Amino acid sequence: MRVGRPAFAPTEKDRSTVKAMAGFGIPEVEIAKILSIDPKTLRKYFPHELDVGHVEANAKVAANLFRRATGDGREAVIAAIFWLKCRAGWREQDKRDAQEEREARKLGRHEQALLNMQLTSSEVEWADDLR
């Protein structure tokens, strides 16, 4: 006769809880504490939920963001900008970058190349140390 804790039997509610918590980014050790089981038991009985929880959560958030970004109004503009920065490589241009770009356009290719090759005073001092 075996004495001890009864074998763990996961319920659908447990599966749903694990998937949601994994989706929220809660560590496995913490999820196991909530279910009052060992982390090894968690991994044994819930591998699918642990693997797909974050994917499903990301998909839901992305769908919501996409819906908002393709809508109307101020909220849509903000969501669209966020989407484009994250997914399409857009970035905000620094004021310094914009000024440098305007100045660079004024120079011809040859002049710009010469300007790019010039060393600052600190670089010159550093270069002298190498000699």
Tell me which residue of 20, 93, 7 sits closest to 53, measured CA to CA: 20
Asked whether the whole model's pTM tops 0.85, one would answer: no
Considering only residues 56 and 3, tell me which one the structure prediction assigns the higher pLDDT: 56
| 15-29, 92-106, 108-122, range with the lowest pLDDT | 108-122
CA distance 72 to 74: 7
Q: Please, what is the average pLDDT of the chain?
A: 85
Portion of the chain with pLDDT greater than 70, in percent = 79
pLDDT at 18: 98
pLDDT(79) > 90:
yes
DSSP state of 8: P
Write the pLDDT tens digit of every residue in 2-46.
677 788 999 999 999 999 999 999 999 999 999 999 999 999 999
User: How many helices and strands, by DSSP H and E, does the chain display?
Assistant: 8, 0
pLDDT(125) > 60:
no
Q: Where are the alpha helices (DSSP H) in 36-120?
A: 39-45, 47-69, 74-87, 95-106, 109-117
pLDDT(120) > 60:
no
pLDDT at 131: 47
